[in-house]
Amino acid sequence: MTQKELSYTEDAVGHENSIISILEDSVKNLEDEDLISFMNEELQKHEQTKQRLINLLEEKTNEW
C-alpha cells in the first residue's frame, strides 16, 4: 500500500466515524420506529465498513 493509499484509508476511517456519530445522534432524536430501525441498520453497515478499513490498515501495518 502506498503512502497515498494509506492516507486515503485513514481518512475513510475518519469519515466512517463521522457518519456513525451522526447516525447515533439521529437515532436518539427520532420517534418513528420504522425510521429508527432503518437508521440502526445503516449504523451497523457503517460500523462494519469502518472495521473492514481498520482490518486493512492492520494487515498492511503487519506486512511492514
Amino acid 2: pLDDT: 86
Amino acid 64: pLDDT: 67
Question: What is the pLDDT confidence band of residue 14, given thresholds at 50, 70 and 90?
Answer: very high
**Residue type at 38 in one-letter notation:** F
Q: From residue 63, give the alpha-carbon distance in Å to each of 5, 19, 28, 56.
A: 15, 29, 41, 11
Residue 31's domain comprises: 3-63
Domains of the chain: total = 1
Q: What is the pLDDT of residues 43-55, one digit of tens each?
A: 999 999 999 999 9
Q: What is the pLDDT of residues 34-45, one digit of tens each?
A: 999 999 999 999
Q: For the beta carbon of residue 53, count every other beta carbon within 10 angstroms.
A: 18
Q: From residue 47, give the alpha-carbon distance in Å to each of 1, 30, 36, 44.
A: 23, 20, 16, 5
